[in-house]
Amino acid sequence: MKPRLLIIELWGLGDLAIASPFLRAATERFDVTLVAKPYALDLQDRFLPGIKVIPFLAPWTAFMGKYRVWAWPWRNLLRLHRTLYRQFDVGLSARWDPRDHVLLALTGAKRRLGFPRMGSRMFLTDPLERPVPPSHRYEYWRALAHALGFSLPSMAEHAILRPANRSEILVHTGAGQPVRVWPLDRYRQLVQYLREKGYRVTVASDPAQRNWWLNAGESGVETPRTVKELMALLDRSAAFIGNDSGPGHLAALAGVPTLTLFGPQLPEWFAPLHPQGEVVEGKPCPYKPCSDYCRFALPICIHGISVEEVCARAARFAERHVTESVGREV
């Protein structure tokens, strides 16, 4: 009988995509339970087979109001505690977050692994040293794997099959926070540029951006509202271009090469896990990385990226990843 492993990954879609290689590898040695945001259920069949998913929206992961402890859903937290209590041999979190570590301690897991911060070592039986900075988030999962007795490939060693017989470039203009969004009028110019070069381009946006695209004449704009709807678009895409956001990480997880436009975050920390992925790094800022709380009226890191710069990179990127015979209009 396999030992029971609890994994806590309560943050964004990109974080869960980065964790997926660890999750899949862990199932070979453990009976794995994952506590994550509800969209993990949409990933379960395809990317997380054999893993039990417990959906949970942790109040401390909200962008606004996370410190209003009196408004937290305490009934849901107590229900989660009852579900997890004394059910696991091992529990872990890859995030150096004391709140995750308190939750691990409350489960009563026999071994509790994590990266301590602000005194949270007391909640862990196996505190681990954080990877040397600057290290990609994936390196934390590699460190946890090593502590549990197995290994994960490096980012460059990921074996991802190139999507076959796909003809489209998916340009996704959304992001979790406005500070990560390259201006939409520049995306419109990029889309026009790629189409003029003969590429088939599908535009996808967040719901709040949809009317902008319709008013700009993009009548076919897609607005996926679930992970499954986004996956349907990725499954017909040969390449992905977009902001530093969850859809790009999901594209990489699905094997689609990515070109990611970064703003306040650092590519060396959060680039999508695709060995052929590329990035356009945001411009320098004295406060970077700023965790999406910008001090300026406009985020200079991403607004400083020019249309000309992105078009040049996108053209080379498309030439490498979109087969000419199927990827261009004839």
19 pLDDT band (50/70/90 cuts)? Answer: very high
Q: What's residue 159's pLDDT?
A: 65
Single-letter amino acid code for the residue at 111: R
Q: 3-class secondary structure for the chain? A: CCCEEEEEECCCHHHHHHHHHHHHHHCCCCEEEEEECCCHHHHHHHHCCCCEEEECCCHHHCCCCCCCHHHCCHHHHHHHHHHHCCCCCEEEECCCCHHHHHHHHHHCCCEEEECCCCCHHHHCCEECCCCCCCCCHHHHHHHHHHHCCCCCCCHHHCCCCCCCCCCEEEEECCCCCHHHCCCHHHHHHHHHHHHHCCEEEEEECCHHHHHHHHHCCCCCCECCCCHHHHHHHHCCEEEEEEECCHHHHHHHHCCCCEEEECCCCCHHHHCCCCCCCEEECCCCCCCCCCCCCCCCCCCHHHHCCCHHHHHHHHHHHHHHHCCHHHHECC
326 pLDDT band (50/70/90 cuts)? Answer: very low
Q: What's residue 161's pLDDT?
A: 62
The percent of residues above 90 in pLDDT, for the chain, comes to 75
Measured CA to CA, the distance from residue 150 to residue 9 in angstroms comes to: 20
Domain ranges of the chain: 4-154, 168-327
Measured CA to CA, the distance from residue 46 to residue 234 in angstroms comes to: 13
pLDDT at 73 over 60: yes
Lowest mean pLDDT among 9-13, 38-42, 205-209, 292-296: 292-296
Lowest mean pLDDT among 43-57, 255-269, 287-301: 287-301
pLDDT at 62 over 80: no
Query: Is domain 168-327 in CATH 3.40.640.10, yes or no?
Result: no
Q: What's residue 213's pLDDT?
A: 98
The alpha carbon torsion through 236, 255, 174, 93 (nearest 10 deg) reads 140
112 pLDDT band (50/70/90 cuts)? Answer: very high
330 pLDDT band (50/70/90 cuts)? Answer: very low
Tell which residue, 41, 34, 35, 77, has the closest CA to residue 59. 77
Measured CA to CA, the distance from residue 52 to residue 33 in angstroms comes to: 5
Contacts of 63 (CB under 8 A, 6+ apart): 176, 177, 292
Residue-wise pLDDT tens digits, 224-233: 999 999 999 9
Q: What's residue 310's pLDDT?
A: 98
Parallel/antiparallel/unpaired status of strands 111-114 and 90-93: parallel
Query: Is domain 4-154 in CATH 2.30.30.110, yes or no?
Result: no
Lowest mean pLDDT among 76-80, 105-109, 225-229: 76-80
Residue corresponding to tokens 């453990």: 30
156 pLDDT band (50/70/90 cuts)? Answer: confident
Residues, the chain: 330
| Domain pair 4-154 / 168-327, same fold | yes
The half-sphere exposure of 169 on its side-chain side, counting CA atoms within 13 A, is 31
Residue corresponding to tokens 């054999």: 50
- For the segment 236-242, the average pLDDT, to the nearest whole number, is 95
- For the segment 281-295, the average pLDDT, to the nearest whole number, is 87
Average pLDDT over the chain reads 90
- For the segment 319-326, the average pLDDT, to the nearest whole number, is 70
308 pLDDT band (50/70/90 cuts)? Answer: very high
Q: What's residue 295's pLDDT?
A: 87
